[in-house]
Amino acid sequence: MKFCKVVITVIFITTVGTSQASKWDIFSSPNEEVLKCFQSNNLNESEIEILKNGRPDKKSLRKKAKKVIKSCKSYLGKKVSTKIDNRKKTSQIFKTSPFGKDLQLLKYEPNSIQNGTFLLVVPQKNSYGRVLEITNDAKIIWQHDGNSSFGRLDDAKLTNENTILIAAEKGVYEIDREGKVIWSYKTKVSHDVDKLTNGNILINYAWGAKGSKKIIEVDNNKNVVWSWDGMKTHNVEPFADAYASDSKIFGSNKTWIHNNGVTALEDDTFLISMRDFQEIIWINRKADILKKYIFKCSAKKRALLTSGKIKGCNPHEPQQLQNGNIVVGLRNPNRAIEFNPETHEIVWQWRSPKSKAYGTIRDVDKLKNGNFIVVTGSHLLEINSNGEVVLDIGANKSLSQDHRILYKAQKIYSDGTFSHD
């Protein structure tokens, strides 16, 4: 496998770039004094949560927030800048020392880890993020910086052509190993993007309003050749008016279904993860449901309460194995599992011993050697078949917002092939 550049191993690996300071940063992690100022200026809790993610879409909230910035900036002890200072440098994004501040190599058992490298997106709080390819012992061997044209990075995957397909909030683009953009498509994206065997791109968007296209397939000429909106099968009770508690923050028109993963299977069907409905479904191109699996969810803040066989809510990023088993991340309880959808038997599972410290499970993939990649909000883990953590790379929460520090990872094997995500 060829790389455009290699970083010689040293104790610390430091990268620098342009700082993307913003006036909205005042809302990202306010201290107690600043928070009180927000509240005294009539910002409610849900508005503050929206503003933590940056510039809000709603014009009235932007207008209100600008007045708050003016009133509260004195509490920061310095002026809030509204301009980008190109002379400033970003903080160290990656350190291999166990004492590093950003990403830390916390546990490393080289003889137990799957051979290969990891492709990982690190979405920084004050910039557009960075795609890293790292070795098992956490050395950077390739990297790509996000940019304002496409916005904050969300997902990145190696393709069979040794290019990198990247999803960002404003679109999808494909780059070569030199970082040159060789294809792009501007659209709203979230959670997942894949390159299909026919060369088309499968794009997921979870936040669209009810009735909008949730998944699209785009060809090389940027034509939408297939789409799915969920209306044919789920615009019925109990799904039609089911919304999770985050609808109070983002508006119910942005949270219906909340599809957070789609995989094209070999028989031209699609496996879709439906967070708010506590199920995964298999559909064909006519949007018919061929099969579904419903989990047992009893958490009141979730969109639906369901009565399946396996306990868990909000499935994330399901992977179908050759034997038919499913690997998936669940919440309530927060765990990663492999199970047989026919017998409901859980054949492997791992649950974080410190869920608040680790964050919610967002991605699970089974590897060739039987290990599992588990990505939580703040840890990239590799776990063996006995449930023992053999690799732990931890992220400092200063990089991003709450549980959104890390999202997904892909294992690139020594022969150039790669894992599910």
Average pLDDT value over all residues in the chain: 83
The two three-digit tokens of residue 138, written as one number: 């956490």
Residues 57 and 120 in one domain: no
Residues 246 and 393 in one domain: yes
Confirm whether 151 is domain-assigned: yes
Query: What digits encode the pLDDT tens for the residues 18-74?
Result: 333 357 777 766 777 777 788 878 888 778 878 877 778 788 888 888 888 887 876
- The answer, yes or no, to whether residue 91 has pLDDT greater than 50, is no
Confirm whether 164 is domain-assigned: yes
Residues 61 and 124 in one domain: no
Residues 61 and 148 in one domain: no
Confirm whether 307 is domain-assigned: yes
Confidence band for 128, pLDDT divided at 50, 70 and 90:
confident
Confirm whether 189 is domain-assigned: yes
Q: Can you give the pLDDT at residue 254?
A: 64
Residues 170 and 71 in one domain: no
Q: How far apart are CA 256 and CA 249, in angstroms?
A: 13
164-179 b/e with 16+ CB inside 10 Å = b?
bbbbbbbbbbbbebee
257 neighbors 206 (Cβ within 8 angstroms): yes
Confirm whether 2 is domain-assigned: no
- Which is more confidently placed, 89 or 202? 202
Burial class (CB within 10 angstroms; exposed 0-12, middle 13-18, buried 19+) of 44? exposed
Confirm whether 98 is domain-assigned: no
Query: What digits encode the pLDDT tens for the residues 271-328?
Result: 999 999 999 999 999 999 999 999 999 987 788 999 999 999 999 999 999 999 999 9
Confidence band for 6, pLDDT divided at 50, 70 and 90:
very low
- The answer, yes or no, to whether residue 372 has pLDDT greater than 80, is yes
Mean pLDDT for the stretch of residues 346-355: 86
Number of domains in the chain: 2
Q: Can you give the pLDDT at residue 60?
A: 85
121 neighbors 131 (Cβ within 8 angstroms): yes
Mean pLDDT for the stretch of residues 361-387: 94
The residues, any chain, with a CB within 8 Å of residue 53's CB and separated by 6 or more, are 401
Confirm whether 392 is domain-assigned: yes
Q: Can you give the pLDDT at residue 84?
A: 31
Q: Can you give the pLDDT at residue 79?
A: 38
Burial class (CB within 10 angstroms; exposed 0-12, middle 13-18, buried 19+) of 90? middle
Q: Can you give the pLDDT at residue 324?
A: 96
310-332 b/e with 16+ CB inside 10 Å = b?
bebbbbbbbbbeeeebbbbbbbb
Q: How far apart are CA 121 and CA 409, in angstroms?
A: 7
Half-sphere exposure of 339 (CA within 13 A, CB side): 24
Residues 337 and 250 in one domain: yes
Confidence band for 135, pLDDT divided at 50, 70 and 90:
very high
Q: Scanning the structure block, which residue is given the tokens 């399946």?
A: 308
Residues 288 and 147 in one domain: yes
Q: Which domain holds residue 241?
A: 103-412
Residues 282 and 360 in one domain: yes
Q: Can you give the pLDDT at residue 367?
A: 98
Residues 113 and 38 in one domain: no
Query: What digits encode the pLDDT tens for the residues 220-252?
Result: 999 999 999 999 999 999 999 888 876 666 555
282 neighbors 326 (Cβ within 8 angstroms): no
Handedness of CA 295, 298, 301, 303 (dihedral sign): positive
Question: What pTM did the predictor assign?
Answer: 0.76
Question: 40: helix, coil or strand?
Answer: helix
The two three-digit tokens of residue 410, written as one number: 């892909």
Confirm whether 65 is domain-assigned: yes
